[in-house]
Structures are given as C-alpha cells and as structure tokens.
C-alpha cells in the first residue's frame, strides 16, 4: 500500500485510529507541559539564587550584581547555551522579584510559557494592574 492509495476503513477502525491519535497527542501535550514547567521552575530558582546572593553576598562593591551576571554567563553559556546569557540572567532575577512566591508560579505555570512570563515581568512597571488581573483569572 502506498500513501496515495485510498483506503476504506470501517467505523470501528476509524475509532481505533482516532483513539491512537488522541493517545499520541496527549503524550506530546504532557511532555510539552513537563518541559515548560521545568524551564520556568529552573529560571525562577536561578533568579532567586541571584537575588539572594546580591542581597547577602560578601562582595558589596557597587557593581557586584553586574559582576555576578558576568561570572555566571562565563560559566553557564559554554555548557548550557545562550539561554543563560547575561541578559537572560537579569530576566530570571526580575522574574523572581515579580513572583517571589513559588506557589503562585507553580499554580500558573501550566498557563504560562517562559516567553509569556518574561514579557509580563519586563512590562511590570507599565502593566502591573493588568498582570494582577490576569493572574486572578488562572
């Protein structure tokens, strides 16, 4: 049988194939959500780690935060890729500052992608009332 041949199937075969497609799609959806949760959780935890070090770290020089970001970027990018650039590290810290309670992040993460999270975080100064309203919907 080739891909161009028309195949006649019974209604029970159609149901069988449809259910198989549903199983595959649910598996893909579950994998996507698990990966997304892991990404958002990792970035939030890294943001928390950065902020904690900036607040309690031993290097209280004026540019200590910038130094931390550069140090992290130098170590993380070669191993884990550009997702850990200095720019993104600042976003992770900002994300943690906007959502310091992980329970809120955990409750909403199934509705948020990292891109969605960072766009909300970056626009916090302008859209805080809107962001709070959106969070109450989920």
Looking at residue 134, its pLDDT comes to 47
Rounded to the nearest 10°, the torsion over CA 88, 58, 63, 92 is 10
Task: Return d(Cα 127, Cα 116) in angstroms, integer.
Answer: 13
pLDDT in tens, 36-81: 889 989 999 999 999 998 877 665 555 778 888 999 999 999 999 9
The per-residue pLDDT for 107 is 80
Triad 36, 37, 39: Cα angle to 5°: 65
Q: CA-based angle 101:105:107, to the nearest 5?
A: 110
- The predicted pLDDT at position 115 comes to 63
| Domain locations along the chain | 11-137
pLDDT tops 60 at residue 135 = no
Burial class of 24 by CB neighbour count within 10 A (0 to 12, 13 to 18, 19+): exposed
pLDDT digits (tens, 9 = 90+) for 79-126: 999 999 999 999 999 999 988 998 888 887 666 666 665 555 545 443
The per-residue pLDDT for 127 is: 42
């Amino acid at each position: 049988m080739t891909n161009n041949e028309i195949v006649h199937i019974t209604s029970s075969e159609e149901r069988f194939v449809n259910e198989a497609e549903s199983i595959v799609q649910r598996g893909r959806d579950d994998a996507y959500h698990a990966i997304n949760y892991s990404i958002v959780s990792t970035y939030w935890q890294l943001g928390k780690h950065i902020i904690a070090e900036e607040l309690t770290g031993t290097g209280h020089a004026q540019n200590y935060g910038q130094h931390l970001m550069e140090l992290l970027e130098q170590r993380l990018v070669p191993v884990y890729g550009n997702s850990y650039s200095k720019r993104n590290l600042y976003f992770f810290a900002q994300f943690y500052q906007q959502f310091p309670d992980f329970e809120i992040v955990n409750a909403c993460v199934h509705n948020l992608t990292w891109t969605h999270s960072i766009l909300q975080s970056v626009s916090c100064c302008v859209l805080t009332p809107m962001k709070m309203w959106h969070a109450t919907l989920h």
